[in-house]
Structure 1
């Protein structure tokens, strides 16, 4: 999952224009939404679109979204477990 986590760091920094953050300084256990990154509901929508487009993983409820977007680690775990064709 380390490769997926590193890939997600780069994608999130890119789509959310977090130019002052580098992947090396992006702690996978820090809060995504409501944390120090300043991610808001519009940013969450952008991340949902990226996850669905790039990984084929659908996030179809607010409760699921709140849980998996709590940290980068939880997002990576959810993608790993729910990617079509995965052997989880």
Structure 2
């Protein structure tokens, strides 16, 4: 699971061009949106595309997406349970 969390952090930094962050700056339980990393709705769309492309997970319910993107910890757990790639 730790490898998946590190992979997610690297992917988020790269996909969203978070130039001011590195993997060590993001804690597993940091909030991704709002006061946490400061991600917004456009970033959420990019993360949804990343989940589909990299892990074969298709999110269609916005409420489900909101819960899944709570933190790296929650996202990694969800991917581990639902990935098809």
TM-score (normalised: structure 2): 0.94
Moved over 6 A (4+): none
Question: Pairwise mapping of residues 51-66 of structure 1 onto structure 2 (< 5 A)?
Answer: 51-66=51-66
Once the two structures are superposed, what CA deviation does each residue of 1:51-86 show, in whole Å capped at 9, x if it has no partner?
11000011110111010001111111111000127x
**CA RMSD, aligned part only?**
1.1
The equivalent residue for 1:42 is: 42
Give 1:35 deviation, angstroms.
2.6
What runs of 5+ residues in structure 1 fail to find an aligned partner? none
* 1:17-74 alpha-carbon deviations (Å, 9 max, x no partner): 1111110111110100113321000000000000110000111101110100011111
Aligned-partner Cα distance in 2 for 1:72–1:84: 19
User: How many equivalent residue pairs?
Assistant: 85
What is the TM-score of this pair, normalised by structure 1? 0.91
